Structure 1
């Protein structure tokens, strides 16, 4: 068989169901082989969108999302989405075509060093020099994508794709063994927790990646230790649990940070530095830290764990819960902080001012979704409001680009969510800036028959940059722009549209759109004067203020 046929058979052997991408001349053989495969090739309108769809597919399915492009500009267009998966440790396999090997030593049309370009945005990037190497390289790539986890890149030159080979896919042998730290180390962790007067858990994305939410809840319910999460850890503990404090992720000192301030032991579970730098919550390195993760910590002056437990997070938590034969008494201070945080969103439920305040929009979205439904957040000022206030009740139901924090993530993410979990309702919250960066994927969504609602926070500016500039310089520059008619734009792609003219219209319109199905675009004018109000509030000593004391 030719190399591309073997390549696709190896993808089938790895359980690939979908590939997202844009066709190109140097991948014609791969496309020809895919035409005879059970793998569904989903054509996107830009490689940027293909990579983000693969990214969110990996987050929700816990299997590598796969994206495909041609050489040169096609490959470079993939890099942003691939880098997003890399920093957020999402399993993803990026496949790119390349010119024939005979051209690689000289200047040639569209040829650049793509393997080198991907070197710093993947866990592994390689080119296939001979068709006989395909089975081993594919197996290694998928193993790294899952085990690291993160993004990998494979380049297949067009002449290698055409080359004849007698090789076959490698046999898949599943020998999974969940490791846990030594019993003596678990005993040390138990003793540290038992002796602590005010322990707190900081749960991160690793808990979701390893599907260890059940084990975390069992440990928390048994020991009575309160939990804060990162933005990407939202949902590992239900927001209505009395032991859930809130989420951390903004640079200003929020109320959740007051809980960490009074803690004498921080138990970091599945926490990655890229989620929230320890210098924000342990600037003087005074906190005692227990690190529970599948990989060794990135240590720095603010993160020097007293105890490091490396192994399966799920298994470590299970065994630790079995060992812990005590229940901590929760300080009334933690309960008061939780009440303050929850009351902030609740206080906007009847706010009918227009333009709509971001808190009100999020309150209404939450009321229109069930506990298992999904919110995809693009990147912008709205992301910070979602991270702070939007309640999540189940893991992997609030999807946020955090490490790279790339705009343009929301719409492709909604497509992925609809493919992986077609029975869930999906809302993508995007800014007007981020939406315009990947709006072409509306055609992809409509063509696929997707059902979701895109809620555009419309303020005709790059809102988060305006916010940061006002904090730093008390003014902003270069952030304003004009917008098209989003409703007509959506309709031109075959989507449905709604322009919210009054605040009390939003929730009924959103509920109807979610019930009716199809792709919807909601244009909602947002009042981002709330951004600076929040900054002014958090600039005070919230932990010692009347609210936080």
Structure 2
């Protein structure tokens, strides 16, 4: 068979269901081989959108997400989405074409060292130089990409290699079981927790993978210990659980820090420093930390755990739960955690019933989104000022029902991501909250959504400037540089792209507009004018909080 046929068979053997991408001449053999396979190819309008789609698909399903581009500009267009998926811990496989081996040694049209370019943003990057190596390369790439911590792997397939004849077969998929923590270490953790007076849990991205959240919920329920969640750990605890302390991770001091200050032991579960560096919450290095994760702790002067529990998170938490069940829960002083939860509930309720016209407060917009979405519905957030409001105010009932890019933090993910989210969960309603800056980064994927009939809703917060940068500059300098821009006629854009459109200038009408959009079969957009005067009001208020409750 041709090498490209073998490559596709290897992908089928690994359980690949679809590939997102934009092919080029150098992918021609691969695309013809794909035509006769069980794998669906989703044609996108930009390679970056394809990478975001594959990343979100992998993050939601736990299966390998796959994207494809050609050599040169196709590969460079992919790389931002790939870097984003890698740092957000999505299992992701990237396939790029390349010029023939016979011209790679010299200056040649569109040829660049793509393998080297991808090494800093992937777990592994490799070129296929011999067709017989394809089964091993594909097997290794998928195994590495799906192993904890998940990430991206890249394979380059040159045009002449793809057309070569080969006699080989796919390898068996490799999904090795993760090692588990030693029981003696769990005993140490339990002794430390029994001796604690006011322990606290910080749950990170790892806590919502591989069944870990179920065991975390059991631990919190049995002991009463509350858990703060990072942006990418939302849903580790149900928002209605009294032990749920909501979200930590704002760039400035916020009320959750007061609960951290009151804790004598901090148990981190799946904590990932790419989201929220320990210098933000442990600046004086005073916290006694227990680290539980799939990997050893990052060497950081602000994060020096007293105990490191390395291995499968769900298993480690299960062993800890066995000890709680055996010995009973200790008596703790968790009053600071109760005060934090009550304080944040009051924050969420403020302005939730606004009926202002002309501009809608972020708090009201978030409250209405939460009101119209069911527990299992999926919300995606872009990057900008809206991300901070979603992160702080939107809370989840279940893991993976609020997707925020908080590792690499690239703009442009939610629109293509929503398309893939619908593929990953076809019976679930999907909404994306985007800024007017964010959506324009990949606005061309509106055509992809229309062509596919994607049943998604996009809520655009319009302020006609890069709001987060303005917010940051105003915090630091008291004013901001010119960050304004113009927007398209949203109604005309939606008509041209065959999308349903609604403009909603009045806060009182927002829930009805959102429900209408969600009920519409196909892609829908709701545009609201956002009142970002609330940004600095929040900054000034948080700047006045005390050290303790």
**Is the contact between residue 92 and residue 152 of structure 2 (CA under 8 Å) also seen in structure 1?**
yes
- Return the alpha-carbon distance in structure 1 between the equivalents of residues 368 and 241 of structure 2: 21
Partner of 1:461: 465
**Is the contact between residue 18 and residue 66 of structure 2 (CA under 8 Å) also seen in structure 1?**
yes
SS at match of 1:267: strand
| Alpha-carbon distance, 1:330 to partner | 4.7
Task: State the Cα deviation string for residues 497-549 of structure 1 (Å, max 9, x = none).
Answer: 001121111110111221232111111100000000011011113444xxxx3
Partner of 1:121: 121
The equivalences for 1:265-284 within 5 A come to 265-284=265-284
- Return the alpha-carbon distance in structure 1 between the equivalents of residues 29 and 526 of structure 2: 41
SS at match of 1:94: strand
| Alpha-carbon distance, 1:178 to partner | 4.5
| Alpha-carbon distance, 1:377 to partner | 0.3
Partner of 2:344: 341
Task: State the Cα deviation string for residues 296-315 of structure 1 (Å, max 9, x = none).
Answer: 11021100010001110010
- Return the alpha-carbon distance in structure 2 between the equivalents of residues 331 and 68 of structure 1: 50
- Return the alpha-carbon distance in structure 2 between the equivalents of residues 469 and 412 of structure 1: 29
The equivalences for 1:57-136 within 5 A come to 57-136=57-136
**Is the contact between residue 65 and residue 92 of structure 1 (CA under 8 Å) also seen in structure 2?**
yes
Partner of 1:471: 475
Q: Which runs of 5+ in 1 are unaligned?
A: none
**Is the contact between residue 258 and residue 336 of structure 2 (CA under 8 Å) also seen in structure 1?**
no
Q: Per the alignment, do residues 543 and 509 of structure 1 end up closer, same or farther by CA in structure 2, a change over 3 Å counting?
A: same
Task: State the Cα deviation string for residues 374-430 of structure 1 (Å, max 9, x = none).
Answer: 100011101011111111110000000011100001101111111110111111000
Partner of 1:166: 167
Partner of 1:391: 395
Partner of 2:508: 504
- Return the alpha-carbon distance in structure 1 between the equivalents of residues 217 and 21 of structure 2: 39
Q: After alignment, is 44-53 or 142-151 more displaced? A: 142-151
- Is 1:493 the equivalent of 2:520? no
SS at match of 2:120: coil
- Return the alpha-carbon distance in structure 2 between the equivalents of residues 71 and 330 of structure 1: 59
The equivalences for 1:76-475 within 5 A come to 76-148=76-148, 149-172=150-173, 176-324=176-324, 325-327=327-329, 328-354=331-357, 355-475=359-479
SS at match of 1:457: strand
**Is the contact between residue 487 and residue 521 of structure 1 (CA under 8 Å) also seen in structure 2?**
no
The equivalences for 1:521-532 within 5 A come to 521-532=525-536
**Is the contact between residue 459 and residue 525 of structure 2 (CA under 8 Å) also seen in structure 1?**
yes
**Is the contact between residue 375 and residue 397 of structure 2 (CA under 8 Å) also seen in structure 1?**
yes
Task: State the Cα deviation string for residues 307-353 of structure 1 (Å, max 9, x = none).
Answer: 00111001011111101233243522211211110111212121122
**Is the contact between residue 255 and residue 542 of structure 1 (CA under 8 Å) also seen in structure 2?**
no
| Alpha-carbon distance, 1:173 to partner | 5.7
**Is the contact between residue 224 and residue 330 of structure 1 (CA under 8 Å) also seen in structure 2?**
no
Scaled by the length of structure 1, the TM-score of the pair is 0.98
SS at match of 2:274: helix
**Is the contact between residue 55 and residue 92 of structure 1 (CA under 8 Å) also seen in structure 2?**
yes
